[in-house]
Amino acid sequence: MKHFPGLNWLRAAAVACVLAAPLAAWPASDSNTPQSYALQLPVQFNSGAPLQRLVLPAQVLVSLQTGGMSDLRIFNGQGQPLSMAMSDSASLRQTENQKIVVQSSPIIGTPDVKDLSASSLRIEDQQGKRVVQIDGGASGGAQSKTVLGALLDTRAITDAVVGMVLDVDLPDAQPITFTLQMSKDLKDWRPLAETVLYRAEATADHLGAGHIALQFAEMKDHYVRVTWTDSAGHTAPVLMRSATLTTARGVSNLPRVSAALARPVLINPYELRFSLPFATPVAALDIKPAGDNVLIPVRVLGRNDPGQPWAVLAASVIYHLQTAGKVQDSAAIELPPTAFRQIKIEADKKTPGFSALPAIALEFEPAQIVALVNGQPPFTLAAGLANAASPYLPMQSLMPGYQAAQENSLPLATIDSSPAAVQATASRDGMPTRTLILWGVLLVAALALGAMAWVLLKQNNKAAAEDQ
């Protein structure tokens, strides 16, 4: 058999390329080694407590590369991983929820009332309906009076209120500011919350913070007054029917975790894109537009790879307004609980769009783990490793006889972390980078095999000619 020296390097190149294709997606690091992780942070445990809980800071959440927070470990001083369990969302946020619909009563007064917040109210029954009059206001016929707001009787609500949704009809294409205040005696009022709602046209749903988040407001023995004004500070033509209150009992007050976003790409005044370098789901986007008196209806879209179509995640309105000397900013836009690596924000083209890059903060639901402390310090929390297997045990394994939210009574360990700033990268259309690399490797392998076949055929033809 003849030996063809030109084939050796072609054969070696083809074999190397074929072997490189599966290796490009193969995890190369050991998940049980702290040095394999992109982030390592010191952990300070309390002495004398075998079970302790840790609330994950933003710096950890924006470093995770695997779904389910699987690429997270705590190592002791001997490099051994600790046994861990993860709290579910119900244990961290609430154990019991209830929605209560409260019918509203109109507040009637003359249009010349300048400051309703300084007015006292009285409740009257007129023809079987409850109405609220401004106490001491100018008397006059029905033609001289109008609806200036609404009153909610929340005196019988005993649980803390964590949210409210207003059932209202809005005028078209006007941002309407809703102001909520509380009082026990209908005379002395204190601020409760404020939000802005906007509806583009009669057939559209309103945008903005339709759900008003409240910080565990105690409304027992109180009334709530709702007033509404347009951008000029005048009472707007709004019809309010009721409010749906969300109450919570046995609630943990762990707040959401926030991280600033740097380097989003403004494609044009109506399109902003960025890619996220982590796998943790984003619960909400807090977008603050640049400039004064800015209001922009937006859509938020997401996908995981450049080759996928964009999916609509949310529609809302972002704003930065100054009304009657007060600055009002839009609330964060809630997103579905699915992790998307690429985000696009589209501005309504009936507006000027973005004159400059807005300030964007990423909000995450709080995450808590429970660890069984053993071994010697120092203890290190490690995070950030693609394709890591889940390390978590069932909570019942660490806490026999476990009851819901029982881990919240454990001592809280501390993690030495820094404020998180996410460096976003540009989001492109087309094929994912990993797919391009794999296709490139396969193409090189195919070319090498073709060249090897061509050389072999040429050598065989030459040998046959020599034998004749």
Domain boundary among 364, 389, 409: 364
- Say yes or no: 162 and 286 in one domain: no
Q: Of 91, 89, 85, nearest to 372 (Cα)?
A: 85
| Residue 442 domain flag | no
Distance CA 410, CA 408 (A): 6
SS3 (DSSP) at 345? strand
| Residue 453 domain flag | no
Q: Of 2, 8, 3, nearest to 451 (Cα)?
A: 8
Q: What is the DSSP letter of 441?
A: H
Q: Which residues of 277-305 are buried (b: 16+ CB within 10 A; e: fewer)?
A: ebbbebbbbbbebeeeebbbbbbbbbbee
- Say yes or no: 50 and 116 in one domain: no
Distance CA 299, CA 314 (A): 6
Q: What is the pTM of this model?
A: 0.67
| Residue 78 domain flag | yes
pLDDT at site 252: 61
Q: For residue 45, give both structure tokens.
A: 């445990």
| Residue 27 domain flag | no
| Residue 108 domain flag | yes
Low-confidence residues in the chain, pLDDT < 50: 1, 4, 13-14, 17-18, 20-27, 138-140, 142, 430-433, 435-436, 439
How many structural domains are present in the chain? 3
Distance CA 326, CA 328 (A): 6
- Say yes or no: 83 and 42 in one domain: yes
Number of H helices, E strands in the chain: 5, 29
- Say yes or no: 219 and 301 in one domain: no
Answer whether 211's CB lies under 8 Å from 165's CB.
Answer: yes
- Say yes or no: 118 and 177 in one domain: yes
Task: With both helix axes pointing from N to C terminus, report the angle between 7-23 and 433-467 in degrees, rounded to the nearest 10.
Answer: 160
In this structure, the chain runs to a length of: 468
Domain boundary among 229, 249, 269: 249
- Say yes or no: 87 and 162 in one domain: no
- Say yes or no: 145 and 234 in one domain: yes
| Residue 457 domain flag | no
E-assigned strands of 311-400? Answer: 311-323, 326-329, 333-334, 342-347, 359-364, 368-372, 379-383
Q: How many CA atoms are closer than 13 Å to the CA of 143, on its beta-carbon side?
A: 0
Q: For residue 147, give both structure tokens.
A: 């609806």
Q: What is the 3-state secondary structure (H, E, C) of 151-209?
A: EEECCCCCCEEEEEEEEEECCCCCCEEEEEEEECCCCCCEEEEEEEEECCCCCCCCEEC
Distance CA 302, CA 273 (A): 10
Q: Which domain holds residue 164?
A: 96-249
- Say yes or no: 54 and 131 in one domain: no
Domain boundary among 249, 273, 288: 249
pLDDT at site 140: 46
- Say yes or no: 320 and 408 in one domain: no
Residue that is written with structure tokens 């009574």 in the block: 409
Residue that is written with structure tokens 């390097």 in the block: 9
- CATH number of the CATH domain containing 235: 2.60.120
**How far apart are the two ends of the chain, measured CA to CA in Å?**
17
Q: State how far the alpha carbon of 138 is from the alpha carbons of 78, 117, 244, 340, in Å.
A: 80, 17, 33, 58
| Residue 303 domain flag | yes
Q: What is the 3-state secondary structure (H, E, C) of 363-381?
A: EECCCEEEEECCCCCCEEE
- Say yes or no: 101 and 212 in one domain: yes
Answer whether 337's CB lies under 8 Å from 283's CB.
Answer: yes
Q: In sequence order, what are the residues at sequence separation of 6 or more whose Cβ sits closer than 8 angstroms to the Cβ of residue 211?
A: 163, 164, 165, 334
Distance CA 229, CA 211 (A): 18
- Say yes or no: 65 and 83 in one domain: yes
| Residue 198 domain flag | yes
Distance CA 288, CA 274 (A): 16
Secondary structure element (H or E) that encloses residue 23, with its range = helix 7-23
- Say yes or no: 180 and 164 in one domain: yes
pLDDT, tens digit, 9 for 90 and up, residues 243-253: 999 987 765 66
SS3 (DSSP) at 301? strand
